[in-house]
Amino acid sequence: MKEIALHILDITQNSIKAGANEIRITLSESIPDDLLSLTIADNGKGMDAESCRRASDPWFTSRTTRKVGLGLPLLKMNAGLTGGGMTIDSEPGKGTTVNATFGYKHVDRPPLGDVSGTIALMILSNPSINIVYSHICEGKEWSISTSEIKEALGEEAVTDLTIVRHLREIINGNVAEIRNFQTGYDKY
């Protein structure tokens, strides 16, 4: 996958298929530490120890529609190419947490991509799931959740396209504010 946003979309689809009703996505940037971290945690059905161990093997998948699963292996590969890595923690009945770290300045690190559009799309297409997105940059943090959006909207539907476009703008603006520096690597 060519962008972090595409990894987010792929991994969260696993969470949705696992029956999660809450998905937490955290992107953390630290230029001084040369570190970009992506964490996706859900409260879905989780995996047993053997499935968790094999989850990053491209020839292992729990899907019945195909015989390969490339999302986690590609995330692990992309993280590893930058000197980072990937961990998966899971417990049956409690959920799964995937954490990937990347060398921030490494030439092989995928760009962030359209993270705000990805989050807005996830909220639009999964209004019953509480999606919590947090972005941390040099100690500054901003977050938003589906439940907060629904509370603020009242009677208006979170799936209204005008609301989703506005949500994307809100995410972009707030993340740009906490990233009040020019990295030279990514533009959000």
Is residue 154, in this structure, part of any structural domain at all? yes
Which stretches does DSSP call E strand in the chain?
A: 22-30, 35-42, 85-91, 95-103, 130-137, 140-145
In a domain, 186, yes or no: no
Using only C-alpha atoms, the chain has a radius of gyration, in whole angstroms, of: 16
List the Cα angle 18/20/25 in 5-degree steps: 110
**Predicted model pTM:** 0.89
17: left (phi over 0), alpha (psi -120 to 50) or beta: alpha
pLDDT value of residue 113: 95
In a domain, 21, yes or no: yes
Indicate which CATH number applies to the domain containing 32. Answer: 3.30.565.10
Q: What is the pLDDT of residues 10-40, one digit of tens each?
A: 999 999 999 999 999 999 999 999 999 999 9
Instruction: Dump pLDDT digits (tens) for 124-178.
Output: 899 999 999 999 998 899 999 999 988 888 877 788 888 888 999 999 999 989 9
- 188, part of any domain: no
**187 located within any domain:** no
Strand (E) positions, 3-94?
22-30, 35-42, 85-91
How far apart CA 58 and CA 76 sit, in angstroms, is 11
pLDDT in tens, 52-68: 787 777 665 655 554 44
Question: Mean of the per-residue pLDDT values for the chain?
Answer: 88
30 located within any domain: yes
Residue 1 has pLDDT above 80, yes or no: no
Locate 141 and state its tokens.
């943090």
Q: How many domains does the chain have?
A: 1
